[in-house]
């Protein structure tokens, strides 16, 4: 289905597989409109923890630029995110590597942080570092199978727990952005 919000003559398929500690809200925004998707929260549908439920979200988007904004909220100390993104069935990016196309801001953001225009200078690449991975040992490996199954990819997806390249910027809310450029060409691997 093409979303009336962001449809155009040349449609593309967007697949996002994600989970966050503890919950997430995702925004898919074009130049003209935004769709909001709320992920599972602790206690929803009998699940103890929202992060215990990896989701795959598929949407048809137009050929213009699209921003994916994800607000991860933790009910304790630090919010974490696992995410994998495909465009037209081809790998686009995922959380963890130093060259990820996922950006993070652990500071306060403007109310329209998930919309265009996309200003990466105010954001930093969301990459994991060994010091940040202690939480990954407790729930990261548990969900790798879910992420691999749902995304159809065996890339080593890492959680982004703290700020970029540092666990000294722990926040219970973190904001993530991914820009899908106009008619994005995805690398084949």
User: What tokens does 128 get?
Assistant: 């994991």
Please, how many CA atoms are within 13 Å of residue 19, restricted to the half-sphere of its CB? 26
In this prediction the pTM is 0.80
14-67 pLDDT per residue, tens: 999 888 878 889 999 988 889 999 887 766 666 666 666 788 999 999 888 999
Residues written for the chain = 189
Q: What is the rounded radius of gyration, in angstroms, for the C-alpha atoms of the chain?
A: 15
pLDDT tens per residue, range 147-158: 667 677 766 666
d(CA 81, CA 97) in angstroms, rounded, equals 13
Residue in 101, 106, 154, 96 with CA at minimum distance from that of residue 130: 96
């Amino acid at each position: 289905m093409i979303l009336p919000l962001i449809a155009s003559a040349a449609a593309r398929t967007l697949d996002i597989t994600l989970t966050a500690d503890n919950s997430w809200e995702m925004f898919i925004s074009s130049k003209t409109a935004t769709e909001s998707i709320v992920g599972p929260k602790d206690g929803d549908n009998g699940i103890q923890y929202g992060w215990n439920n990896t989701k795959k979200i598929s949407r048809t988007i137009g050929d213009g630029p699209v921003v994916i904004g994800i607000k991860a909220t933790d009910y304790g100390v630090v919010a974490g995110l696992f995410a994998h993104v495909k465009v037209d069935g081809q790998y686009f990016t995922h959380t963890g590597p130093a060259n990820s196309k996922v950006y993070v801001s652990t500071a306060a953001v403007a109310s329209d942080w998930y919309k265009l225009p996309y200003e990466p200078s105010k954001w930093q690449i969301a990459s994991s570092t060994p010091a940040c991975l202690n939480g990954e040992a407790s729930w990261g490996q548990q969900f790798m199978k879910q992420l691999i199954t749902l995304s159809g990819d065996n890339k080593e997806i890492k959680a982004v727990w703290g700020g970029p390249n540092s666990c000294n910027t722990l926040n219970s809310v973190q904001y993530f952005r991914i820009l899908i450029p106009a008619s994005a060409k995805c690398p084949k691997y």
